[in-house]
Amino acid sequence: MLCDVFDYPLINNLPKLNVNRLVLWLRAKFGTYFYPAVCYLVWTVVGWYRKYRYLGFRYFVRDWGQSFYRIMSPLPWIQYQIHKECLALRKSLKQSFQLKDSSTAIQLPEEGACSEEIINTASKAVTLEQNTWKSGYCSGCVYHGEPAHLQLLDKVSNMYSISNPLHPDVWPSLRRMESDIVSMTSQLLGGDVCPDVCGSTTSGGTESIILAVKAHREWALENKVVDDSMQVIIPTTAHAAFFKACDLLQLEARLVEVDPITQQVNPNDVEAMIEPNTILLVASAPNFHSGVIDPIEDLGAIANKYHIGLHVDCCLGGFFLPFMRELGHFVPPFDFRVTGVTSMSVDTHKYGYAPKGSSVVLFGSQKLRQDMYFCYPDWSGGLYCTPTLAGSRPGSLIAGCWASLVYLGKSGYLKITGEIIATREYLVQQITQRVPEISILFGAPTMIITLGSTDYNIYSIGDGMSQRGWHLNQLQHPNAIHLCLTRLHAQTGVAEKFITDLVEVVGEVKLKDNSKTGKASVYGMTQSLPDAPVSELLKYYMDIVLDE
């Protein structure tokens, strides 16, 4: 009987658990399964402890909330709530996306349209859309956008619009351009002192990251004793692409929480998480969230000590930090010069000012780069081997990227980087002086300004800025908005306009007393929900973007 495992003292009537008797009772009950079950239980609890020790309570609630939601989600009431949220989302998106009316082409037209008509339609739309980004109202998004630069990229890409680097024999010039891009990039990031650095162009930061993770997985399968439960240790500030990579490659993504003040990952926390099956550490230089650079040197030493990889995500910083350093600003070591760094991702389509769809993935050795390739020599279509995820690739983007790098040159990059840093310093100074209600978070000295507020709903302030035409990024954990500065923000008058708008908006929000409309409410709601229903909402959002 279960009650036998309790003692019932005569005076104190609260029963007391007698552990010895509990063990005897369990053993009698579960027989031979007892010890294995205890081991399993202890193992599970120790695992939880190790996991949440470096993540905190919020992640515990998130994970368990997800399991709970999975059990409860068939309930009609929950389904109804989700449905209601989806409808509200659709209504609010209808305006901003100008969802299709019946006149758009749903089927292939019976007869083709004439080229003037097509050019007219496209040109009208594009001219209208240019107004949004040209004036510098977007965070990130378009990074250069000056007409002469744009025209050159268009012209050169045009010449290669049907080219495909899958056939280097047909377009040998394209092969040359790709190796030039990789070489110019690596020379900026330690390739000058580490001659083994090599890489490939890809379609964007996400692909670069997926490929770097894949290469490390293949490397680990060949060189380390690992079973198929390999882990990657990822700071919470790292880009979502790392989770996509782990999802696709079936690796376990082990999150580490960052320091709430500095937003840097703590190397000791990372080291404590390493297990025999850990294959890769991740760091950002800088991260998208706050523009902060992780302590790459310390992480490199750890990666070296445990003989595992370290990927430095330099998607934002690759064509920014080297020039920032050359301009005399302090930039801590972050590239292949740091021992232990095995791969890097660098977005040429961000501060490399190339056309969209262009990035570079770099490796510390050719052997590791080979682990990125996919080979299938048995294919009926012939011997098959590709470096990246795609088969056929757009040569036009390689040509456009090459044109951007060669056209701007070092002096061009130095000039723009200097302008962006000056704009940032101006904004920081003005906000500190004129908008004391807003705090600049994390003090990262790169290209991102993160704004928070302890007194007001920062998303309401973001909404107010949206109404004035600004497209800022909404962040969470902690709640903040940010502006990722580009060349367009360095144009005359843009930073001044940002400040006057911000002053106005804060004044309004003060009066309205934390109104909760628009994006503010969407974020407010999603923050209070576990991840699973939010994912459903996001999927619904994606359906609308793709279909309507």
Ligand X SMILES: *Cc1c(COP(=O)(O)O)cnc(C)c1O
Q: E strand or H helix at 106, and its extent?
A: none
Spell out where 28-131 has E strands: none
Q: Which one, of 435, 468, 471, lies nearest residue 453 by Cα?
A: 435
Could you say which of 139, 200, 201, 206 contacts ligand X (CB under 6 A)?
Answer: 206
The b/e string for 514-541 (b: 16+ C-beta within 10 A; e otherwise) is eeeebbbbbbeebeebbebbbebbeebe
Integer-rounded Cα radius of gyration of the chain: 27
Residues 357-396 that bind ligand X (CB under 6 A): 359
Is 204 an interacting residue with respect to ligand X (CB under 6 A)?
Answer: yes
Helix (H, G, I), strand (E, B) or coil at 346: strand
- Asked if residue 287 binds ligand X (CB under 6 A), the reply is yes
Q: Is 444 in the site for ligand X (CB under 6 A)?
A: no
CA-CA distances (angstroms) from residue 402 to 294, 396, 491?
A: 30, 10, 25
Q: Report how many residues bind ligand X under the rule CB under 6 A.
A: 13
Q: Which stretch binds ligand X (CB under 6 A): 309-317, 448-456, 463-471, 504-512?
A: 309-317
- DSSP per-residue codes, 137-168: -BSSS-S---HHHHHHHHHHHHHTTT--TT-T
Q: Which stretch binds ligand X (CB under 6 A): 32-40, 112-120, 281-289, 510-518?
A: 281-289
Smaller CB distance to ligand X: residue 400 or 533? 400
Is residue 284 at the binding interface for ligand X, with CB under 6 A as the rule? yes
Q: Is 401 in the site for ligand X (CB under 6 A)?
A: no
Q: How far is CA 346 from CA 102, 203, 349, 372, 546, in A?
A: 42, 11, 9, 16, 28
Task: Rule CB under 6 A: say whether 205 interacts with ligand X.
Answer: yes
- In this complex, which beta carbon is closest to ligand X, that of residue 241 or of residue 475? 241
Nearer to ligand X, 54 or 351 (CB): 351
Position 138 contacts ligand X (CB under 6 A): no
Instruction: Name residue, tokens 């002192």.
Output: 193
Nearest to ligand X of 471, 497 (CB atom): 471
The three-class DSSP label of residue 40 is: helix
Q: Does 210 bind ligand X (CB under 6 A)?
A: no
- What's the closest the beta carbon of residue 245 comes to ligand X, in angstroms? 11
DSSP 492: T
* Least distance in angstroms from the C-beta of 334 to ligand X: 12
Nearer residue to ligand X within complex by CB, 186 or 287: 287
Dihedral of alpha carbons 216, 217, 223, 226, sign: positive
Please, what is the minimum distance in Å from the beta carbon of residue 304 to ligand X? 23
Binding of ligand X by 335 (CB under 6 A): no
Contact status: 313 vs ligand X (CB under 6 A):
yes
Sign (positive or negative) of CA dihedral 236, 455, 463, 350: negative
Is the CB of 205 or the CB of 235 nearer to ligand X? 205
Site for ligand X in 214-273 (CB under 6 A): 239, 241
185 binds ligand X (CB under 6 A): no
Interacting residues toward ligand X by CB under 6 A: 204-206, 239, 241, 284, 287-288, 313, 315-316, 347, 359
